[in-house]
Amino acid sequence: MKTRKVLTTIVAAIALLVVLYSLFLGFKYNRFYRVSDKLQKIPGLMEGFVPQGTTRLENGDTWLVCGYMGGGKASRIYRLDGNGGVSVIYLQKEDGSTYTGHAGGITAAGGFVYISNASKLFVLRAEDVLNAGDGDTLSFIGHIKVPCRASFCSSDGEMVYVGDYHAKGYETADNHVIRVSDGKVHEAVTYGYRLGDGEFGVADAGCPSIAFSTCDKVQGFAVADGKAYLSCSAGFADSKLRVYQAEGSDGSIQVDGREVPQVMLDSNRAADVLTMPNRSEDIDVRDGLLYVGFEGGARKFAFGIYPFSLRSIMAVDLKDL
């Protein structure tokens, strides 16, 4: 009887701590929930899908979520209609073999959809993605080699951006180690390629037009109205949406022998920070809304039951930041 009482007391104490911790987290994330809305639940989370990239097609009413699977299964795109409708598209490499890569980010620009991973932007035709049937398979039509890890990507309609995730164990190129204007050292760079009539919709796939030196743990990057938005996260710690003034430049960086204008996104350019739930990933901005996906609801991460782990694409209204 005494042992049962002790166990009951311990269980009650743990339950109370969980409730108090959840209330604390709710208070921390209050601003995030005030400026954002759920768009649609991310499918496949309990079947092993780990979402990474999020974008909206330029037709205005189709959203894409890309990610990877375990067990050698094909990486995929889920196509959402914003009202609960879902289709799945399986991915293949250019040679027709199954693509099982990390599929770190996704964005749409012009007639193309880009998926980032392994220092490449893999390319699909937007019309093929839009018209594919549920369960169809699409092969990449090519890729663009980029001078960074290609952990994420986005587009503002003028550029496609692709950049590094840096943290301990995730090393980047030597020339990405930069002492920025506030005296700190950054070890990650995001590049912007101008869109145009070149191969796969990029004006000069051989060289970017601009570079941004960024902090560690960037999972997503977007530019809108002169500001840069960085989705930063690692593990179950709070995610941060970091906002910086992005106009002008602060010097240059060499890329394959060319001088490329560089913007140092450090404390001297910092404009805002929004605290978000754990494991925020890739982001994209469309018409004043910043779409952000989270991987925290995936089965892989504590079965998605860690407090405030999100299972939906969230739309942040930038005018409220």
Q: Is 66 domain-assigned?
A: yes
Query: Is residue 11 assigned to a domain?
Result: no
Residue 16: inside a domain, yes or no? Answer: no
Q: Which residues 6+ apart lie within 8 Å of 168 measured at CB? A: none
Look-up of token digits 């037709």:
59
The residue range of the domain holding 224 is: 36-320
Number of structural domains (the chain) is 1
Q: For position 59, what pLDDT does the model report?
A: 74
**Helices of type H across the chain:** 2-28, 30-35, 126-131
Q: How far apart are CA 229 and CA 316, in angstroms?
A: 11
* Regions of the chain with pLDDT less than 70: 1-26
What CATH number is attached to the domain comprising 83?
2.115.10
Q: How far is CA 277 from CA 114, 167, 178, in A?
A: 27, 19, 29
pLDDT in tens, 239-271: 999 999 999 999 999 999 999 999 999 999 999
H/E stretch holding 220 reads strand 218-224
pLDDT at residue 20, rounded to an integer: 43
- Whether the CB-CB separation of 155 and 109 falls below 8 Å is answered with yes
Specify if 94 maps to a domain.
yes
Q: Which residues contact 255 (CB under 8 A, 6 or more apart)?
A: 147, 191, 207, 208, 211
Q: Could you tell me if residue 7 is inside a domain?
A: no
In a domain, 15, yes or no: no
Q: For residue 213, is it within any domain?
A: yes
For 205-236, what is each residue's pLDDT tens digit?
789 999 999 999 999 999 999 999 999 999 99
* Residue 93 within a domain: yes
